[in-house]
Amino acid sequence: MRMIWVLMGIALGAALSLSLHSAEAGKIVGEESSYAREQGVRQRFFYVASGNGESQVEYICRAFPGTTASSSTANAVWQVQRFTYDSSNRVSTIDFAGVDDAYNQVCDSRVSLTY
């Protein structure tokens, strides 16, 4: 009888251990709800005027609203992504300005930035 209680205790401990290390949808293991990715990010969308991908998203500029400078698209606090499209209007590439995903670009300069 004692052996059964020991085995049940081990099984219960293993089950509790597994439940403590699971992740919720959209979060990695150990990530707190208040620090979920892209929470509170200010975003600006700019669309393709003509050609491949017409009327599709061409640029996305993101900034953290807690930054004082993020109220203006002329400040270097933005992460800028550029989307390019093939002749079938499908996304063919997604690039970051400055060749990385840093929040140090000027959204107003998105067309002339280096990708």
The position carrying tokens 């800028």 is: 80
**What is the tens place of the pLDDT at every residue in 32-48?**
555 445 567 888 888 88
Give the model's pLDDT for residue 8.
43
Nearest alpha carbon to residue 113 among 72, 78, 89: 78
How do 57-63 and 42-47 pair as beta strands? antiparallel
Average pLDDT (80-85) is: 93
**What is the tens place of the pLDDT at every residue in 8-22?**
444 444 443 444 445
Confidence label for 26 from pLDDT (cuts 50, 70 and 90): low
pTM over 0.85: no
Whether 50 and 82 have beta carbons less than 8 Å apart is answered as: no
C-alpha span between 87 and 39 (Å, rounded): 34
User: Which tokens in the block code for residue 115?
Assistant: 């990708």
- Domains of the chain: which residue ranges? 40-109
